[in-house]
Structure 1
Amino acid sequence: MADKLDHLLSDYFRGKLDVAIQLRQMELTYRHGTPDENIGGGRKQNDYNNVVESRMIHEQNDPELKRLRYQKSVIKMMFDCLIKSHQDVLIDKYGNKKGWVTIGMDNHIDERTARE
C-alpha cells in the first residue's frame, strides 16, 4: 500500500499524472469505434455526427480518466492544506527524489522529523 502511495505521489510531483490524463484524453479522442456493418443498402435513419459532444461524453464516462482526475484533485487538495515546511519536504522527497538525510539537512530539521 505504501509503495502504491509513494509511486502515486512521485507521479504527481514529477508531472507524470498530468501526462497520463492527457494521454488518456488523446486515446479517447482518436479511438476507433466499431465499423458500420450495414450492408442492407438503405441509409441509417438516426445517424448524427456530433463529434465534440461524443468526445465529451466519452471523456466524462471513462472510468480510467475519472480515476486519474480524482487522484490528482485529492492530492492537490491535501497538498494545499499543508504548511510550507511540510510542502517543501514532500516536494524534495517525491519531486526531487532526495533521501531523508539530505531533506533534513536542506530544511534544517532532523531526519526523523522529515520522515514524520
Structure 2
Amino acid sequence: MKRSTIRTVEDILRDYPKIDKYIEQREQELRYPVTPVDENIGGGRAQNGFNDSADRLIITLDEDKRINALKKQRQVIDDCLDEVGKDTEIIINEMYFRKRPRYTIDGLVVNHLIGCSRATAFRLKKQFISSCAKQLGLYSMN
C-alpha cells in the first residue's frame, strides 16, 4: 500500500471523533446560508414569490457531497471497528482517537494493555488501516 494512502486513512481516523461535529457544522452552513446584502437601490425582486426554501433545504442536505462523504467515513470506520478484536480496538483508540495519546504501540505491549507481541500489534494496525482503505475505495489489491 502506498504511504500516501496510509497517511490519508490515518488522517481520517484522527478526525473520526470529530465527524459528528463536522456534519453538524455543515448542516448549519446549509440551513443558515450567508446571504449577500442587496445594495441595489430602486430595483428589486418581486415580493410575492413562492418560498420553497424548506424543500430546497431537505434536498440540499440529502445531496450535499461533504455530508455524505463524512457519513460514509463514519460508517466505514464503525464497520471496521466492529470486525476487529479487542487488541486492535485498543491500538486504534490509543493511536488515533485520543487527543493526546499516552502510549505508542511499544508502550501498549510493554504495559500489557494488549495481549499480543509487538510484531502482531503492528500487523493488526496495518490490517485495520488496509481494511479501512479498501472500504473507503482508496486502495485495491492490484
Give the count of matched residue pairs. Answer: 111
More moved, 94-103 vs 16-25: 94-103
1:43 shift after superposition: 5.4
Q: Stretches of 4+ moved more than 4 A in 1?
A: 33-37, 39-45
| Counterparts of 2:47 and 2:120, CA distance in 1 | 71
Query: CA deviation digits over 1:62-97, x for unaligned, max 9?
Result: 111111111111111111111222212211221233
Higher relative contact order (CA 8 A, sep 6+): 2
Query: CA deviation digits over 1:2-52, x for unaligned, max 9?
Result: 11111111111xx21121111111111111467898x4775555x13452x
Q: CA RMSD in A?
A: 2.4
- Is 1:6 the counterpart of 2:13 in the alignment? no
Identify unmatched segments of 5+ residues in structure 2: 124-142
- Is 1:103 the counterpart of 2:108 in the alignment? yes
Identify unmatched segments of 5+ residues in structure 1: none
Q: 1:104 to 1:41 in 2, by over 3 A?
A: closer
| Counterparts of 2:74 and 2:8, CA distance in 1 | 14
TM-score of the superposed pair, with normalisation by structure 1: 0.78
TM-score of the superposed pair, with normalisation by structure 2: 0.65
- Is 1:24 the counterpart of 2:26 in the alignment? yes
% identity of equivalent residues: 21
